[in-house]
Amino acid sequence: MHYTAELAKKDPEAVTVFIGPCVAKRYEGINDPLVDFVMTFEELDALFEASNIKVQECAAATFDHLPSAEGRGFAVTGGVAAAVNAVVNGRVEIKPICINGIKPAMLRLFKMYPKGKNPGNLIEMMTCEGGCIAGAGVVCSAKKTVKDVGKFAAQAAPITSMNKDENKE
């Protein structure tokens, strides 16, 4: 959120709006001078509904640079770890531990790690079970969305096949 806002603010007239599934981003946005507004997918959906905008009927946008498959897949539990592993590309062994939601068993596991009981070297902490796709501000079921994210990610090139300068996601 911050780095995208930083890029956008190169235009002094830019107004930055982070749109995502996470209500925790509100706190981050309030404390980031580069982020003007934060809204959830649910709020965006309500605006579309009130404005009678049918997203499925809108023309697809084109982009100069597309994100990698890993960049598209980060929102599912394990996705951040997969992206880090792809960027490291074997130069370092990555042993990810994924905390999937803040249910009591996951929190107990997480609390063991500072005591040296972490079998990995990368901790991916997803507060919402399933990942960001199950955030408080989503409009679709996590079960459907995990499949959709997988299809969306599969349409992009993996990080390892992208130009090194484009690996900045």
Distances (CA, A) of 86 to 28, 62, 81, 96, 124: 27, 25, 9, 12, 15
> Looking at residues 139-154, what average pLDDT do you find?
88
pLDDT for position 169: 44
> Looking at residues 22-45, what average pLDDT do you find?
94
Whether residue 10 has pLDDT greater than 60: yes
Tell me the pLDDT tens digit for each residue of 97-108.
888 888 888 888
pLDDT for position 135: 87
Residue with more model confidence, 113 or 144: 144
pLDDT for position 112: 81
Query: What is the band of 161 on the pLDDT scale with cuts at 50, 70, 90?
Result: low
pLDDT for position 162: 57
Q: Where are the beta strands (DSSP E) in the chain?
A: 17-20, 37-40, 96-100, 122-126
Which residue shows structure tokens 């997988």? 150
Among 18, 26, 150, 168, smallest CA distance to 76 is for 150
CA dihedral 78, 82, 84, 87 (to 10 degrees): -170
Tally Cβ neighbours within 10 Å of residue 100: 19
Query: What is the band of 110 on the pLDDT scale with cuts at 50, 70, 90?
Result: confident
> Looking at residues 60-82, what average pLDDT do you find?
87
Whether residue 66 has pLDDT greater than 90: no
Tell me the pLDDT tens digit for each residue of 78-89.
999 999 998 898
pLDDT for position 114: 79
